[in-house]
Structure 1
């Protein structure tokens, strides 16, 4: 489990996060949702150490990440897998080299062991045999799956996913959501997904945190979200569904 306690983050005079507290549960798909500028990506970056909060704590299974120095954070960093919004694959590396990158950085395994792990991860995301392709040769959905393969290469306890369905068609988005959910259940990871996609919310949102103007405005499951009387959340849900319908009609 990851506990976030009273997180504050500012950029200049902009107070982006205003005392966020939440628990992200093991073996579940925990979603952070909210409109643009609500602070959801900033919260994720504070949780993995890409931003340092002015106040508050991020606690990984009893270990206070925010109180650690760079050296003592390394242990937790090796337990984290992350899929960035744009997949963030290295263009100059092929699929095999991209997935092997964290293994080269954080392990002293022999190449044979690393290659076995790469091939296992590729099989797990249904991309077996695609080792030698370069990112320019991959579709958007394939890039996301390679990004997921790299994120699970270290067999992480904690999986962070930023806007996994950005730029994908609805059918491919469902494939990515299903894969994230399967991996979460299979490895009992604590998975945190930042998204604005209501299909993802209703499909895999076991534990949902809704942010509004830098505050936690609502918390619950996808089974509870339709029955809420939270005005801002209802506006967000309606607007998201409306935009999705509009996009479908354009196609």
Structure 2
């Protein structure tokens, strides 16, 4: 479980986060949603240590990540997998080398064991045998799946996904959502997804945190989101669905 308590974050005079508290449970796909500038990406960065909160705490299974120094945080970072918006694959590396990168960085396993792990996660994301391809030879959906494979190569307890469906067609986006959810349940991972995709929200949103102007404005499930009377959330949902409809035309 990941717990954030009273998280504030300011950049100079700009207060981006204003007292966010939430719990993210294992085996659950948790989605952070909100409009541009609502603070969702800043919150994610505070949770993984890319930003330091101005105030508040982040805990991983009751371990206070916020108060740890760099060396102390390494143990938790080894338990974190990240899927970046652009997949962030190294262009000069093959699929195999990209996935092996965190294994080389954080483990001293023999190369044979690393390769076995690479092949296992490639098979899990339905890319068996694609080891020697380069990112330039992959489709957008395949790149995302390689990104997922790399993110789970270390068998993480926690998985963070930043806009995993960005740039994908609707059919491929659904496949990526389903893959993330399956992996979350299969390995009992605490998964947190930053997204604006309402199809993702309604498809895999077991816990949804809605941010508005840097504050926690609503939280609940995909079933509850359809009956909420929260005006700002309803406006966000309507505007997002309208934009998705226009983009499909």
Q: Please report the TM-score for the alignment, with normalisation by the length of structure 2.
A: 0.99
Please tell me the root mean square deviation across aligned C-alpha atoms, in Å.
0.4
Query: Residues of 1 paired with 2:141 and 2:45: CA distance?
Result: 24
1:92 corresponds in structure 2 to 92
2:217 corresponds in structure 1 to 217
2:157 corresponds in structure 1 to 157
Query: Residues of 2 paired with 1:138 and 1:50: CA distance?
Result: 29
> What is the CA-CA distance between 1:99 and the residue it aligns to?
0.1
> What is the CA-CA distance between 1:12 and the residue it aligns to?
1.6
2:5 corresponds in structure 1 to 5
Query: Residues of 1 paired with 2:91 and 2:123: CA distance?
Result: 22
Q: Could you list the per-position Cα deviations for residues 105-128 of structure 1 after superposition, in whole angstroms to 9, with x for gaps in the alignment?
A: 000100000000000000000000
Instruction: Point out where structure 1 has 5 or more consecutive residues left out of the alignment.
Output: none
Q: Could you list the per-position Cα deviations for residues 140-169 of structure 1 after superposition, in whole angstroms to 9, with x for gaps in the alignment?
A: 111100000000000000000000000000
Moved over 3 A (4+): none
1:36 corresponds in structure 2 to 36
Matched, 1:139 2:129: no
Report SS of the residue matched to 1:218.
strand
Q: Could you list the per-position Cα deviations for residues 5-59 of structure 1 after superposition, in whole angstroms to 9, with x for gaps in the alignment?
A: 0011111211000010000111100000000110000000000000001100000
Report SS of the residue matched to 1:143.
helix
> What is the CA-CA distance between 1:248 and the residue it aligns to?
1.1
Q: How many aligned positions are there? A: 249
Within a 5 Å distance, the mapping from 1:7-86 to structure 2 comes to 7-86=7-86
